[in-house]
Amino acid sequence: MAVDNNQNILEWNGANWSTQASIEGAGNAVSCPSPSFCAAVGIHMVPGNNGGVAYTWNGRSWSPPTYFPAITQAVSCASASFCMASTLNGFVTWNGSSWSSPTDSGPAASATIVSIACPSVLFCMAVSGITSSYATHFNGSTWSSPQYVDGNNVQAQGAGQDLLTSVSCPSESFCMAVDTSGNAFTWNGTSWSGPEDVDGSNAQQWVANPNNGEFGFFVSCSSSTFCMGVDDSGHILAWNGKYWSGPSDVDGTNSIDSISCPASSFCMAVDESGNALTFK
């Protein structure tokens, strides 16, 4: 499944894409742990006071909307019975039948959470990357204190800083996070290491224009030995467990805005012009 900024949800059946549904507001993120379950989140447009909205897919149809008082920005589902989403005032969880009310989780409940990865109900990693840059993890009940993992960016404020943009965790003992300058960071289950500059070609469009919504570098990992990264200049990079290779220009000058790799033998990426690219 993919979502666009025209409130369309699109479906890939293994051979072709089709417009699967048009759902109000669900244009920020989608997560599908299986073909029979997805969750999509986005903005509920209310004049003067935008809120959040979430939907779930049961393999046949999309649910009615669930509304939140603040914009929902990122979502990750470990299974059909557990999802975690961030809002501008906290986190909401899906328990298999309903969404919780937003929970203020102290310093982790920040309007700047841009990406979440939940490999299990007992572990999620979230990264912040709009006006500050940190990582925080969930242990099944509580969120940790923020950890500033980017040595080039200690509590950065405003444009021109290196800000985390994406995180992917195939397990509790391995995560990969990336930032606006093409640096990569790895989590070993206890602590973060990095930065490693792997994408010096990144155009850093966010720094040039902090309002254009393009953050530059995104990552997806199917295991600790396979990750793919994409940037806002049409490049793709690969991680083999030890080293990054690339970047390779696969999409001209288009910004590649998202990538998902359920296996080392298949990835799907989408760009700002509505094109999809596959790796297999």
Containing structural domain, residue 60: 1-104
- The answer to whether residues 19 and 6 touch, using CB atoms and an 8 Å cutoff, is no
The rounded mean pLDDT for the chain is 84
Is the domain of 88 the same as that of 191? no
Is the domain of 230 the same as that of 271? yes
Say how far apart CA 236 and CA 77 lie, in whole Å.
25
Is the domain of 179 the same as that of 265? yes
Helices (H), the chain: 205-208
For residue 206, give the CATH number of its domain. Answer: 2.130.10.10
Residue 256 φ/ψ, nearest 5 degrees: -85, 115
State how far Cα 277 lies from the chain centre.
18
Tell me the whole-structure pTM to 2 decimals: 0.89
Q: Name the pLDDT band for 81 (thresholds 50, 70, 90).
A: very high
Q: Structural domain tally of the chain? A: 2
Percent of the chain at pLDDT above 90?
50
Does 154 map to a domain? no
Is the domain of 188 the same as that of 275? yes
Is the domain of 91 the same as that of 213? no
- pLDDT tens digits for 142-198? 888 888 886 554 444 444 457 888 999 999 999 999 988 888 999 999 999 988 888
Say how far apart CA 89 and CA 112 lie, in whole Å.
10
Is the domain of 134 the same as that of 255? yes
SS3 assignment, position 193: strand
Highest mean pLDDT among 26-35, 43-52, 223-232, 240-249: 223-232
Is the domain of 34 the same as that of 129? no
Among 21-25, 104-108, 215-219, the minimum mean pLDDT is found in 104-108
Is the domain of 250 the same as that of 190? yes
